[in-house]
């Protein structure tokens, strides 16, 4: 029977890149010592959870339309379903081979039945994708319910526009780069894959990724009513999504394992 290595970490990391600033406090915290520190102080890094959710390429968030439910629009921007799914599947594929090869029985099976490793990898990836596509709309709805009423419709729309900017995407890239290593290092320890300490470190990294001009843009946005509203709703949403992320990872793990086990069993039949 094969193992899947970072079974919890792969789905959790896919989401972590999108909410990596949830652990930041509202007064700048560790971010004060990195590039843009003065701007971070003035902005309050609790605005970062929203900023971090813009995609690195900007493709999906740009395509998410405004609807008559701006709280749900915010949730969809905060946790873009297609991006989270694609990242989760990609991370699984990236980490699966090393995990498979770490089990001597798997190595022997691959020698005896070439192609087993690839078939198991693709079965696990398909199972993970199915879980994500099934579960993410509900998570988005719960995010919307948690933040609805904490900002006006116009403020939600302004937040959404900021989340699509190059500044927000730069923050997301800096945050996601800082969070992957620690979570992957403890992938097999049985605990939550995503923890508040990861997010706090990522908050500092996100501000450190900004140019002077981008830090100024963050400062300007934070001074607006929408930026101040995001100071309130961002940590609420991020706290919820951290719990949802770890629960999603736990729900995905047995389904991924079952899909892989089915392939292995089929390959070991006489």
Alpha-carbon gap, residue 130 to 256, rounded angstroms: 10
Residue 228 lies in domain: 9-268
Number of domain units in the chain: 1
The pLDDT value given to residue 28? 33
Alpha-carbon gap, residue 135 to 137, rounded angstroms: 6
Q: What is the pLDDT of residues 83-115, one digit of tens each?
A: 778 877 887 887 788 888 888 888 888 999 999
> Does residue 109 lie within any of the structural domains?
yes
Alpha-carbon gap, residue 21 to 45, rounded angstroms: 8
> Does residue 1 lie within any of the structural domains?
no
Residue among 10, 53, 72 at smallest CA distance from 162:
53
Check residue 190 and give left, alpha or beta (phi > 0: left; psi -120 to 50: alpha): left
> Does residue 129 lie within any of the structural domains?
yes
Q: What is the pLDDT of residues 20-49, one digit of tens each?
A: 333 233 333 323 233 333 323 322 333 333
> Does residue 2 lie within any of the structural domains?
no
Q: What is the pLDDT of residues 110-154, one digit of tens each?
A: 999 999 999 999 999 999 999 999 999 999 999 999 999 999 999
């Amino acid at each position: 029977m094969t193992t899947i290595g970072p079974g919890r970490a792969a789905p959790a990391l896919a989401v972590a890149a999108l909410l990596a600033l949830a652990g930041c406090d509202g007064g700048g915290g560790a971010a004060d010592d990195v590039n843009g520190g003065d701007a971070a102080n003035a902005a309050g890094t609790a605005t970062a959870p929203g900023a971090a959710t813009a995609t690195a390429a900007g493709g999906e968030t740009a395509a998410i339309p405004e609807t008559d439910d701006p709280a749900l629009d915010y949730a969809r921007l905060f946790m873009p379903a297609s991006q989270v799914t694609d990242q989760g599947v990609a991370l699984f594929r990236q980490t699966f081979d090393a995990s498979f090869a770490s089990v001597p029985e798997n190595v022997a099976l691959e020698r005896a039945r070439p192609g087993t490793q690839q078939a198991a990898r693709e079965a696990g990836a398909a199972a993970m994708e199915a879980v994500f596509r099934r579960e993410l709309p509900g998570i988005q709805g719960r995010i919307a319910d948690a933040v609805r009423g904490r900002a006006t419709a116009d403020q939600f729309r302004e937040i959404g526009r900021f989340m699509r900017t190059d500044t927000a995407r730069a923050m997301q890239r800096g945050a996601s780069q800082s969070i992957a290593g620690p979570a992957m290092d403890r992938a097999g320890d049985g605990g939550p894959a995503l923890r508040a300490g990861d997010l706090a470190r990522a908050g500092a990294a996100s501000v450190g990724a900004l140019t002077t001009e981008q830090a100024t843009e963050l400062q300007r946005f934070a001074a607006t009513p929408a930026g101040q509203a995001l100071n309130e709703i961002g940590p609420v949403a991020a706290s919820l999504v951290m719990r949802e992320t770890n629960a999603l990872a736990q729900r995905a793990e047995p389904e991924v394992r079952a899909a892989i086990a089915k392939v292995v069993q089929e390959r070991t039949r006489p």
